[in-house]
Amino acid sequence: MEAAPAPGIVMRIHRVRAEVVVAACDEELVGRDLPVGTVGRTVRVSAHFYGDRRVAREELLLALRRATIANLLGPRVCSLACAEGILRSEATGTLGGVPHAEIISMTEP
């Protein structure tokens, strides 16, 4: 029996008016419900937002460098962004106990 491949990162690029939104997360998080707050609420990590296509490290980094907004979820994707200088580790929070970060690129008009 073959071993399952190591989990990867999935990504989806959304274009909203002039914005390029890159949503990426650790693959195994898709479909999970993460707890939010203390009253039993959850948020679903959806393939509709984060995608379901596994991407290589280089493809993700290229997309992040072109993004105007990024939404990152999971220890692998956040660690990669930190290692590449795209994200500072102290700027990473958590969502349901999972590392999460949002990056917004602001330019002068």
Pairing of strands 54-55, 41-44: unpaired
Mean pLDDT calculated for residue range 4-31: 90
pLDDT band at 62 (very low <50, low <70, confident <90, very high): very high
- DSSP alpha helix (H) spans, the chain: 47-50, 57-66, 75-83
95 with 34: CB under 8 angstroms? yes
pLDDT band at 7 (very low <50, low <70, confident <90, very high): confident
84 with 63: CB under 8 angstroms? no
Q: What is the pLDDT of residues 37-48, one digit of tens each?
A: 878 899 999 999
Domain boundaries, the chain: 9-103
Q: What pTM did the predictor assign?
A: 0.89
pLDDT on residue 66 = 94
Q: CATH classification of 9-103 is 3.40.50.740, yes or no?
A: no
